[in-house]
Structure 1
């Protein structure tokens, strides 16, 4: 029963990590790994898919070359 509890917490934390900024995401995924260890299940790093990095700037092709504003 305790194993299921920690497994559920780990999944919930991973779901939150999917919506978080990169710093918080890394910390949440570390927390999920600790919950997995407590539940007796171990997820390998190779099985996890890294989340894409959010874009903060538009692509370079959208900037004008002539310096016009």
Structure 2
């Protein structure tokens, strides 16, 4: 499985060489994530950000606008 992710990381870096700056940055970030996955036992980086939940006030008063 490690080789699979290493290959994906390299493909993303290859594509980034020919991409516009915005896409290049995203592809290089993707390659970095694949590199992390390719190392068994490696840290997965920072945990995902918590999802934003709407305030309960929006749901507490049904029927009012």
TM-score normalized by the length of structure 1: 0.56
Deviations 1:11-30 (A, max 9, x none): 00000000000000000000
For structure 1, which runs of at least 5 residues remain unmatched after alignment?
43-69
Aligned to 1:22: 21
Equivalent residues in 2 for 1:24-43, closer than 5 Å: 24-40=23-39
TM-score normalized by the length of structure 2: 0.60
Q: Which runs of 4+ in 1 moved over 2 A?
A: none
The Cα shift of 1:8 comes to 0.3
Instruction: Quote the RMSD (CA, aligned, Å).
Output: 1.7
Q: What is the distance in 1 between the residues matched to 2:11 and 2:28?
A: 10
Aligned residues: 41
